[in-house]
Amino acid sequence: MNHDPKENLKSKTSGHVLKYLIILGVFLFLASALSAYWDTRETGKQYEQLATVIGRSIFQELVVVRRWNAEHGGIYVPVTERFQPNPYLEDARRDVTAMDGMRLTKINPEYMTRELSKLLEKENGIKIHLTSLKLLSPANQADPWEEKALAKFERGSKEEMGVVGSHESATFRFMAPLKTEGNCLTCHAKQGHKVGDIRGGLSVSFSYTPFQKAINAANKQIYTAHVFFFLIGVAIICLLGKRLITKIAELQESLRQIKRLEGLLPICAHCKKVRKEGADPKDEESWVPIESFIKDRTDADFSHGICPVCMRQNFQIEYDK
C-alpha cells in the first residue's frame, strides 16, 4: 500500500504541533481556573468586610447609647408587665414613685441593651448580646463563640468576627470589648474593675444569607465570564494551530524538495533528461525532462531561449556584442 509522502509529513507535523497546543490549552485552563478562584475568593472577602462594617457600626452606636444612659445615671420608665424592675441592679433608688403615684424603675445600660436587642431582633433580625467573664446577670451568659472572643480580648484583640453555620442558617457574628469608664464603676467597682479595664464584650449577630446570595450571584458571573474567555482562547488556539500545522507542513515539504534537488541526480549525458527517484533506468517513462522534474518539486517556471554557443554551433549566428 502506497503512502503519500506529503500526507505522512503533514501527519507527523500535526502530532508534534498538537502536543504544544495541548500544553498551551492546559496552561490556559489552569490560568483561567486560578483567576476564577482568586476572583471568587476576593468577592467573599469583600462581602465579609461589608458585614464587618455593618456589625461594627451597630456596636459603636450601641456604645454611644449606653454611654448616654450611664452619664445620666440610668433612665426611669413606668413599671409594666413588659418592664419589670431589674432584680440584679443594686441601687437604693432603683424603684421610685412619681408625684402622681406612678411606679417607676431605673433602666441601667445593661437592662437597656437587652431591651434594645429584643426590639432589633423582632424588627430587623439583629441580635445584640452583652456578656462578660464576670457576670452580674445570668441572662448575659456567654455562648462558646463569645467565650473564645472574650478570651482573645484578654490577650489584646480589638475585635472578633466570622461566619457561623452555613446555607440558610449562616450567621455573621461581630464582637468587640467594652472598656470600663468612670460611670460604669457604680455597678462594676465591686467586681474589682478599674477605669480602662476590659469588663466584657458586646456581640452583634445577623443573618448572612442575603450576603451569600449576593456572593453566589457574583460568582456565577465570574465563572460565566471565565468559561467564555477560556472557550474563546481554545477556539483561537485551534484556529491558529490548524494554520500553523499547514504552514509548517508546507515549509517542511519545500525543504524536502530542496534537499532532493541538492542531492545526486541521475541525468542523461546526451539529452539531459533526469531519471525519477527509485525508477527503473531501462524504462523510458522513468526519464523526464529536467524542466518537468524541477517544476514538479518547486514553484519555479521556465522560459526558453538559445545560448550564444548553441547559436554559433547550430545556426552559425553570432550575437551582436
**DSSP notation for 96-130:** EE-TTS-EEEEE-HHHHHHHHHHHHHHHH--EEEE
Domain boundaries, the chain: 274-315
**What does the mean pLDDT of the chain come to?**
81
pLDDT at 72: 83
Does residue 16 or residue 187 have the better pLDDT?
Answer: 16
Burial class (CB in 10 A: 0-12, 13-18, 19+), 87: exposed
Backbone dihedral region for residue 205 (phi beyond 0: left; psi -120 to 50: alpha; all else: beta): beta
- Among candidate residues 7, 17, 8, 13, the one with its CA nearest the CA of residue 238: 17
Amino acid found at 34: L
**In sequence order, what are the beta bridge partners of 178?**
200
Q: Which of 146, 72, 159 is nearest to 109 (CA)?
A: 72
pTM of the model: 0.64
Nearest to 128 by CA among 178, 90, 83, 75: 178
Lowest mean pLDDT among 68-72, 129-133, 258-262, 280-284: 258-262
Pull the grid cell for residue 232: 474563546
Residue 266 pLDDT grade (very low, low, confident, very high; cuts 50, 70, 90): confident
Residue 220 near residue 186, CB atoms below 8 Å: no
Q: pLDDT by residue (tens digit) across 60-114?
A: 998 888 888 888 888 888 888 877 888 777 777 888 888 888 888 888 888 888 8
pLDDT digits (tens, 9 = 90+) for 130-160: 888 776 667 778 889 998 999 898 888 899 9
pLDDT value of residue 185: 47
